[in-house]
Each structure stands twice: as structure tokens, then as C-alpha cells.
Amino acid sequence: MTTTPKDITQVVSRHLCTGCGACAALFPDAIRMTDTQDVARRPSLTATGEVARLVAKEALAVCPGVGADHRALHGPKGPADEIDRDWGPVMEIWEGYAADAEVRFRGSSGGAATALSLFAVEKAGFSGVTHVAADPADARLNRAVISRDRAGLLRGAGSRYAPASPAERLDSVAAASGPVLFTGKPCDVAAAKAAARRDRRIDNKLGLTLAIFCAGTPSLSATGDLLSRLGVPASAPVRKLVYRGEGWPGEMKAQWLDAKGALRDSKRVSYGEGWGKVLQAKRQWRCHLCVDHTGEFADISVGDPWHEPPKGAREKGRSLIVVRSERGRRFVAEARRQGYLVLEPRERGILYRAQPNLMTTRGAVWGRKLALRLAGLAVPRTPGDGAAFAWLSALTARQRLQSVLGTWKRVARRGLWRAERAGEA
């Protein structure tokens, strides 16, 4: 029996769903996204019978969980050099920060993503920006929104290390009055690009794609673990949850209501403690099979310049901006010219120093997929991803062996031979 998913329900059951929401956007009358406690956001079929069967199959066309063709990024001649092979198309790299002091302070690093978004709606003629913000009723949860002004964009500034489905708003992108800037994780952007190829209405309104560097999506259960670490009572309503920002890299903290309805401040933990010791332990399985952590399918990618790490949690932040398309190049240049960004050029190879773990991660994914294939389990298809080269060149013999053996241990520990159910709470 083949392990390749034949429809969207099998993508979920075989632990390949990223939770992007693209399937729900394209088929809103047949699919809805559901928050789950121990996994992430997942699609559930609301249609029945033959309609459900056809929709579930057709949704595969926009699903990044089943994979993405990296060969399409480079054209028939392949990558231009080893940098493009290892990181996707890299036209230019800039390092800098938002010229607006508040945007820079609120952002996860230098506020570049928010500054670019602000330029889009204030000067570049965009009708809105899709992004993720905390659910106003429950700050543990994320909601995909479209913002059209500074206040809305600042509401989503800073990282949101919890399940989110930015591509769930692609139906609103299609109905927008003008071009929309789509912001999301690398897998979300890949989904948006796939949806644009399928639906001309989306293609006509998808003005620009901006990807945020990503190390994986923790589950809602991980959010609960973080709140416990912050000293927030398990049953307390959470009104604010800050993962990054307010300095670089910022501290994790929360605000919650006590039994008398008074707003209380939680303890604080460092970014290193919150991410390294709490959140990353409960990332969804598909993230362990991801080769694209820097948004290779986007027009522009933004992340942290870890080659010059902050000396304290409240240091003024800086962002790394990777320009991947001519459309992205023009956009960044104009945002800089009009005073939204303060930037300095960087050589393309700086990515190896700025994100030093990602080449070994890319190689390890090839070993993990090999282990899963040998175990008869499903893997995403990502032809042209360069992972085999990274497995041989970036990993030691011991690391290569560990990428296989460690995966078998995870299969046993997580019970990955059992099906994950869509919408399972």
C-alpha cells in the first residue's frame, strides 16, 4: 500500500499537515480549521458524501504538507551557485531595522516585517496585509487577520509561537479591492503560491509574499506549558501573551485575570528558556521534516541575524532581509528610499553565519525521511531541495546515523504509525 496521501484527510492522518489553512480558504463551504490541544490547527471536512470526497482530493493541489517542488525556484538550469542551492533564490541580503522606533521595539528583531507591511498599506497602494495576531478573546490562540493600518499591524508585531493558519484568509485576498501583502511562515507562503497557481482571483490580488524565518510550530499544549512556567494559573483567562519583541530578542511574559477580574502580570522568562526548554519540545511532527526554514518560495524573507546575537533581552533589534525576486527587490528598495527601513547591504553568504544550524537541519531531514520510508511511513516530496547534498556534506558520520536512528525512536515514542484525526481535540 502506498504511503503517499491521496486526499487532504490522509495528509492529516499521516502526520503531514502544516495547519496552513489554504484548503479551508479555497473550500470554505466544505472545510474548516479547528484548534487542537496536542497537535495544531487542522482541517475538518464539513461536507459529506461525494462532495467531501472530491474536495478532499482537490485540496491536495494547494497543500504544502505533501511537499513542494524546489526545482521550480531555479528554472531549467538549476541553482545559480551553492548559496541558491542551500538557501533558495538569494538576490540580495540586507541587515537593518525599522526606522520607526516603536515598530522596531515591538518587532521580534528589528521590526523589518512590520515596517515593510506598513509601507505596503501607507505608500505602495496595497489594500491590506495578511498576518497573525493574538485572539482578542483568548491570547493563547492565534487568528489570521487582514490589517489595513498601523494599529492593526502593530497588534500583530512580534512572534507568535503557537498554531496559526495565515492561508485561511486567502479567500479574503481574492475578494480584496486591491493587492494584498501575504505574510506567513515558509509553508504558509508555499501554500499561498500554490493557491495562486490554481485560482486566478488569488493570483491577481497576491501583490507580494513575505516569509518569516521559522523553526517549527509548537502545539497549544506547549503554550500551556509556557504559561505554567510563567506562573499563570491553568484556568485563568489570558489577555496578553508575548513571545518576542519589546527589545531583542525580548522576554516571554503574559497578563491574566485573577478570580476578582483584576489584570495580573506573570513572571518573565528569557527567549532562550521559553523556546529552548519549553516550546520546541512540542513542535508538530511535519516541522521535523521541513527543509525550508527561511521562506524560499517568498518574494522577501525576514529573520534574525544571529551572527551578531543580542547581548541582552532589551537590546535594540536588527533584522536580516533576504530578497528572493525582482518584485521583492523593487519593494525593499522603495521602502528604504521612502524612509521605512534603515539598511546596510550584506554578502549573500552571510546566511551560513546568521543561521548556523539550518544546513545541518536540512541534511538531517534527508536522514529522517529515509528512516520513515524504511518504516513504511509517509514523507513530503520536495524534489530539488538539496537535502541529500547537505546530509553528505554538512553532517558528520555520527550525525548521519543519528538522523536515521533518532527518527525511529521518535516514531516509537510519538506513535507515528497511528493515524492523526482531523479536528481531534
Question: Which of 23-27, 38-42, 193-197, 212-216 shows the lowest per-residue confidence on average (mean pLDDT)?
Answer: 38-42
Res 2: pLDDT: 61
Res 302: pLDDT: 98
In Å, the largest CA–CA distance within the chain is: 66
Could you tell me where in the chain the CATH 3.40.640 domains are found? 88-218+282-354
pLDDT tens for 288-341 read 999 999 999 999 999 999 999 888 878 899 999 999 999 999 999 999 999 999
- Judge whether residue 424 has pLDDT over 50: no
Res 421: pLDDT: 72
Q: What is d(CA 321, CA 147) in angstroms, rounded to the nearest whole number?
A: 22
Res 1: pLDDT: 42
- Judge whether residue 423 has pLDDT over 80: no
DSSP string, 77-112: T--SSHHHHHHS--SEEEEEEESSHHHHHHSSSS-H
The larger pLDDT score, comparing residue 24 to residue 314, is at 24
Tell me, what DSSP letter sits at residue 135? E
- Judge whether residue 422 has pLDDT over 90: no
**Angle, to 10 degrees, between the axis of helix 397-414 and the axis of helix 358-374?**
60
Q: What is d(CA 333, CA 33) in angstroms, rounded to the nearest whole number?
A: 37
Topology of domain 88-218+282-354 in CATH is Aspartate Aminotransferase; domain 2 (3.40.640)
Kindly state the helix (H) or strand (E) to which residue 180 belongs, with its residue range: strand 180-184
Res 35: pLDDT: 87
Instruction: Supply φ then ψ for residue 256, to 5 degrees.
Output: -145, 160
